[in-house]
Amino acid sequence: MTHTFNPPPAIRSIVIAGGGTAGWMTAVALSAMLSPQRCSITLVESDAIGPIGVGEATIPPIQLFNRIAGIDERDFLRATHATFKLGIEFAGWRDETHTYFHPFGRYGDDFAASPFHQHWLRAQALGDDTPIGAFSLNEQAAYAGRFRQPDADPRSVFSTFAHAYHFDAVLYGQYLRGLAEQRGVARREGLIEAVERDGASGRITGLRLDDGGLIEGDLFVDCTGLRSLLLGEALGVPFEDWTHWLPCNRALAVPTDCIDLARPYTRSTAHEAGWQWRIPLQHRMGNGMVYSAEFWSDTAAHDALMANLEGTPLADPRLIRFTTGRRAQSWSHNCVAIGLSAGFLEPLESTSIHLIQIAITKLLGWFPDMGFDPLTMAEFNRQIANEYDRVRDFLVLHYHANHRRGAFWEHCAQMPIPDSLAEKIAVFRRSGRLLSREADLFKDANWLAVLLGQGIMPTAYDPLADGLRPTELDKVLRGMRQVIARATAAMPTQAAWLADHLAQAQPA
Ligand SMILES: Cc1cc2nc3c(=O)[nH]c(=O)nc-3n(C[C@H](O)[C@H](O)[C@H](O)COP(=O)(O)OP(=O)(O)OC[C@H]3O[C@@H](n4cnc5c(N)ncnc54)[C@H](O)[C@@H]3O)c2cc1C
């Protein structure tokens, strides 16, 4: 006997509220997966409000999004005036004088039954003071201003290399919009004045615009930014405030005319009650100060930012207010929040665009029908919450493990931290081991960079790393350093790579 399937009706129309990075990324990805005959996609945005216009640094998984979305790298680099990002330099974070680098990619190679860093720890115990960064191709290439594409062959040192991008947020939005519109996404300009709901089910039925128009749909994606107009305001999903762990709540953003292709990395410089970003693009520099208004006045933050800029400002600094945290659920009824409407953990490790990408991927993985199965929604919400929680722990580590002076930094050093982070730090301190948790975007190499960078040095290392004789260990480590140094010297500069490859991609 054949089984009879009886699924609820399929989703036939999706309405995306908001046309910032989250809205257009969602539109591009959904339109790549759903044919317009099967399901219409409409994006509503208001020119009167506009996108937040920041968010210019990314992390390597964005390449996966670009692949899913069918984005050609060179086309994208040219359209968004992008540069490569090999990691982040943290200046003054551990203390006022110390600088470290958080590279993408791996440190060295694992060997003799222990992870690479355990051998490095043992070498340190034997008196070798080579910094761990000497074993990172990303860090060496970043400081040498060099770039080339990674290599998938695990025998190549370039398989340890990884990159992301810096891009112009406004150009990125325009680029995504072009792609989405080519694929049949309809754009509707208008201010959403009311969210209409079905009295019985509570589901959203339509968005009422200021011109009287009503945009109806089956599934609504809330990409309305920090205001969270649909999920937060209309459906009343509460916001979990994490200011007690991530205390910064304001930013000042200002572009300058400085062009620096010699430094393919983001720089984050700690200040009195926050930190300054520096993001080099092909045509300008993105700069900003992220700070806590409880510890620093807007004027003091403004003055510190302006005193530490490279190049001439191209505009007045723009003030942005935010609260760190996330919505208790990202999906409620027939509405999924993606982007700032779902939460914001501050830009320290450039994770927001990644969290957009994760939410899109999970929405596609758990794509609903008109039944809106509560079990599906609960699992989606659990997975998304987990992603935010893991990123939160990683960010809190930067603030908490500091030896800076001043009220803000002393507050961060003394604040209670999430248990999950406290446990991770304690295990590392005792054994150099790294606890892996479900859905941790940041892998061992990332945690290692920041734990060591912030000055947390283990008191012991893996006993199995004692297997090699000291002379053998020294030989292996020296060999790795030499391979990385040679590979770095053989790479073209970023400037040469861009000139060469973007010129080739120009239409004839
Ligand atoms: C200071 C700062 C620096 C950041 N840096 C980074 C970074 O380096 N890397 C990173 O990954 N992320 C970063 N982020 C986060 C990043 O900017 C956002 O995740 C990203 O831009 C997505 O924003 P969004 O699309 O969710 O919201 P928005 O850009 O705010 O878009 C909201 C959209 O909703 C529309 N809208 C709102 N209300 C209405 C209404 N009533 N009617 C109609 N339309 C409406 C608006 O028109 C707009 O199109 C940063 C954020 C801040 C605050």
Burial class (CB in 10 A: 0-12, 13-18, 19+), 88: buried
DSSP, collapsed to helix, strand or coil, labels residue 17 as strand
φ/ψ of 127, rounded to 5, equals 105, 0
Distance CA 39, CA 47 (A): 26
Give the active site residues.
Answer: 85
Distance CA 298, CA 277 (A): 16
At residue 436, the pLDDT reads 85
At residue 312, the pLDDT reads 98
Cα 435 to Cα 127, 425, 438, distances in angstroms: 27, 9, 10
At residue 504, the pLDDT reads 61
Report helix, strand and coil shares of the chain as percent, to nearest 5: 40, 20, 40
End-to-end CA distance of the chain: 62
Going by alpha carbons, the residue nearest to atom 14 of ligand 1 is 55
In this prediction, the residues of the chain whose per-residue pLDDT falls under 70 are 504-508
At residue 1, the pLDDT reads 76
Q: Is the CB of 320 under 6 A from ligand 1?
A: yes
- Helix/strand number for the chain, H first, E second: 14, 21
DSSP-derived secondary structure for 156-193? SGGGG---EEE--HHHHHHHHHHHHHHTTPEEEE--EE
Q: Is the CB of 192 under 6 A from ligand 1?
A: yes
At residue 440, the pLDDT reads 81
Amino acid identity of 116?
Answer: F
Whole-angstrom Cα Rg for the chain:
24
Q: How far is the CA of 469 from the centre of ligand 1 (A)?
A: 54
Q: At what angle do helices 419-431 and 444-453 cross, to 10 degrees?
A: 80
Percent of the chain with pLDDT over 70: 99
DSSP, collapsed to helix, strand or coil, labels residue 207 as strand
At residue 508, the pLDDT reads 38
At residue 461, the pLDDT reads 97
DSSP-derived secondary structure for 77-94? HHHHT-EEE-EEEEESSS
Ligand 1 atom, smallest distance to 190 CA? 43
Q: How far is the CA of 86 from the centre of ligand 1 (A)?
A: 24
Write a three-state SS string for 436-502.
CCCCCCCCHHHHHHHHHHCCCCCCCCCHHHHHCCHHHHHHHHHHHHHHHHHHHHHCCEHHHHHHHHH
At residue 437, the pLDDT reads 79
